Amino acid sequence: MEAFQLLSRGGVKFDKNRFKPDVQLFQKNGESSSRDPKPKAKDANSQSLPTELDFFKYAEGGHGKRKASEKDGSPGTKRAKLDEDVRMNSDEEEETDGKTQQEDSSVAPQRHRITMKGLNPPQEAVTFEEMKERYSMPAQLYANLAKNDYIHPTGIQSSGIPALLESRDVAAISPTGTGKTLSYLLPIFTKLGSPSSSQQAQENGSGKGVRAIVIAPTRELAHQIHNECLKLAQGRKWRIVLFSKATASTLSDKSIRDKVDIIISTPLRLVSSIQEGSLELENVRHLVLDEADRLLDSEFLEQIQEITAACTHPNLQKAMFSATLPAGVEKTAMGMLQDPIRLVVGLKDTPLPLIAQSMTYVADDASKLPSLLTYLAQPYNPPVLVFTSSQPRASSLAEELTLNGIRNVDCLHAGITKKEREDAITRMRKGETWILISTEVMARGMDFKGVREVINYDFPTSVQSYIHRIGRTGRAGREGKAVTFFTDEDGPFLKSIANVILQSGSTVSDWMLKLPKPSKMKRRQMGKVKRPEIVNNARKVGRREAVKKREMITGSKRRSAKGDEAREAPPSS
Ligand SMILES: Nc1ncnc2c1ncn2[C@@H]1O[C@H](COP(=O)(O)OP(=O)(O)OP(=O)(O)O)[C@@H](O)[C@H]1O
């Protein structure tokens, strides 16, 4: 059966039995992904995935090369056409798999569908034990993997870790929630070997000053990566610093900063210290950009270039990781790497089929709040992450939901204090928050394992933004659900998102796919419509009236107080 028909007939189901080995990678001791008694995201039909959407078939030893609809015997032309649409839609200019594999001696590891480009690509390692043996991974580090429930490597880990351990520069693109963090942290710890304060490191010529740097676009993500580092560092005295105003000030003492092993930071913070002359990076041997496409966009590029220029060690290794890498940014990335290995897990710029995606028409902005309230009146799977397009809208929506009796609503965006942001994250991690309203700041990298549903209250600003936002669910092998509200104004951009949804195995209406493809210029306008700061206009009127009433009462009180004073005052005063 043709994949296109199969999908348009009412969706696909992620067949967990068939893909058991990969799903089990993420499940602790037989833990089921249906922990919650409430109903889960419902699959539209019980078909298994068509071949080309089947990332996990490689778990059964299949060949990694994608061929249109081999299994169901369809000609695959529409599928190929569709792939082409999606690639264009996401600024993708990837060569066909066939060409790639012939020309670049790519390897297709058996367990996952991975495309590897580059000269002499390293052999994948299917177990952590194999990595330990092949690359002399320190015993304590190896033990920490199991301690933290990292039993089997994921696809990106099987290929990415060997590439980094063989001292190659790497550009890696792997879907959200597939374990990219461990893919770059494990090689850093293995290569550094011992904390620089140790005798062993001194003997091995570790030099003075920080040896590895990981850069992330947001404070929250940097914090999360720091926590992952601490898991791997257990049992040894690594000095790992989450760079902040306070830690930067402590490190202004050279004798302290000379003993630091790893720094995790946002770009601006690091650049400030470099410019002040209070941080030297000439001993850095590992530089990682997490969410590389974000870090290489115009907002951060200059800062990244400044950091890179400061890392002057002759053996500097650079690695870039993300779930998305649009063609233009990829060119910049590749230009910064030397003799790189380029790794793509699954289809580039495509979410995992674990996320059941859908789009809901809500006519106009005013109709969104009632639609969300209707949605939340049905059983839903907390915690839910809701994305809005601006900070005031996030705050306003959180307020509205609370006023409408929805419990445990929280809000997180860059407009609140650092302490408020940290508290919101803690509440979310503890499971105290059922609905978290946020902005793009939470779209990338954040790993709340339990997020069951993502709602795009406001339309995403790009295909990449869509992929990262919905990627907050369906993590570590769990299922998730993503709903995107769209208004008439979002109409011109529907096709871009509809193609991504189709590509990853969820159902979309035929009419969406038949919409004209927006031009590149037009796509830049995606999600950037002007929206009111307050999500409930009626409340605005009510608020205005309340303020007016309050002012009238205050004025009248003031006047009567004046009258009283005049009456009480003696005639002579
Ligand atoms: N080998 C493994 N076995 C089990 N769980 C793992 C493994 N590797 C990573 N995980 C878990 O999977 C989750 C997702 O990992 P991570 O945050 O690194 O994903 P990611 O690919 O970086 O996602 P994003 O693109 O959203 O940043 C984490 O909770 C992590 O602990």
CA distances from 194 to 187, 203, 314, 356, 361 (A): 13, 11, 20, 44, 56
Residues 6+ apart with CB under 8 A from 34: 40
pLDDT of residue 4: 25
pLDDT of residue 541: 65
For ligand 1, what atom is nearest to the CA of residue 228? 31
**CA-nearest residue, atom 9 of ligand 1:** 179
**Does residue 179 line the site of ligand 1, with CB under 6 A?**
yes
For ligand 1, the distance from its centroid to the CA atom of residue 95, given in whole angstroms, is 28
d(CA 465, CA 446): 13
- The yes/no answer to whether this complex scores an ipTM above 0.90 is yes
d(CA 60, CA 50): 15
**Does residue 221 line the site of ligand 1, with CB under 6 A?**
no
For ligand 1, the distance from its centroid to the CA atom of residue 466, given in whole angstroms, is 19
Residues 6+ apart with CB under 8 A from 510: 8
**Does residue 337 line the site of ligand 1, with CB under 6 A?**
no
Residues 6+ apart with CB under 8 A from 30: none
**Does residue 150 line the site of ligand 1, with CB under 6 A?**
yes
Whose tokens are 């993500």? That residue is 221
d(CA 466, CA 35): 27
User: Which run of H or E residues covers position 414?
Assistant: none
pLDDT in tens, the chain (573 residues): 333 222 222 233 334 444 344 445 555 443 433 333 333 333 333 333 333 333 322 222 222 332 333 333 333 333 333 333 323 333 333 333 333 333 333 333 334 589 999 999 999 999 999 999 999 999 999 999 999 999 999 999 999 999 999 999 999 999 999 999 999 999 999 999 989 887 777 777 778 899 999 999 999 999 999 999 999 999 999 999 999 989 999 998 999 999 999 999 999 999 999 999 999 999 999 999 999 999 999 999 999 999 999 999 999 999 999 999 999 999 999 999 999 999 999 888 888 889 999 999 999 999 999 999 999 999 999 999 999 999 999 999 999 999 999 999 999 999 999 999 999 999 999 999 999 999 999 999 999 878 999 999 999 999 999 999 999 999 998 999 999 999 999 999 999 999 999 998 888 999 999 998 888 777 788 878 889 899 998 876 666 677 777 777 777 777 776 666 555 544 443
Instruction: Give the CB-side neighbour count of residue 566, counting CA atoms within 13 A.
Output: 6
**Does residue 471 line the site of ligand 1, with CB under 6 A?**
yes
CA distances from 202 to 238, 247, 251, 518 (A): 14, 24, 20, 58
d(CA 75, CA 83): 14
**CA-nearest residue, atom 5 of ligand 1:** 26
- Written as one string, the DSSP assignment of 49-90 is PPGGG-GGGGGGT--S---TTTTTT---HHHHHHHHHHHHHT
Whose tokens are 């590895």? That residue is 212
State pTM to two decimals: 0.78
Q: Which two tokens stand for residue 93?
A: 């200019």
Q: Position 53: which residue type?
A: L
β-bridge partners, 351:
none
**Does residue 475 line the site of ligand 1, with CB under 6 A?**
yes
Q: Which of 171, 209, 213 is nearest to 188 (CA)?
A: 213
For ligand 1, the distance from its centroid to the CA atom of residue 5, given in whole angstroms, is 33
**Does residue 177 line the site of ligand 1, with CB under 6 A?**
yes
**Does residue 183 line the site of ligand 1, with CB under 6 A?**
no
β-bridge partners, 215:
265, 289
| Cβ atoms < 10 Å from Cβ of 406 | 16
pLDDT of residue 112: 55
The span from the first CA to the last CA of the chain, in angstroms, equals: 99
For ligand 1, what atom is nearest to the CA of residue 181? 18
d(CA 303, CA 309): 10
Inter-residue contact 515 to 454 (CB < 8 Å): no
For ligand 1, what atom is nearest to the CA of residue 156? 21
**Does residue 112 line the site of ligand 1, with CB under 6 A?**
no
pLDDT of residue 164: 98
**CA-nearest residue, atom 22 of ligand 1:** 180
pLDDT of residue 519: 81
**Does residue 558 line the site of ligand 1, with CB under 6 A?**
no
d(CA 438, CA 388): 6
Strand-by-strand arrangement of the 355-361 sheet: 355-361, 480-486, 453-456, 384-387, 435-438, 409-412
**CA-nearest residue, atom 30 of ligand 1:** 179
d(CA 435, CA 386): 7
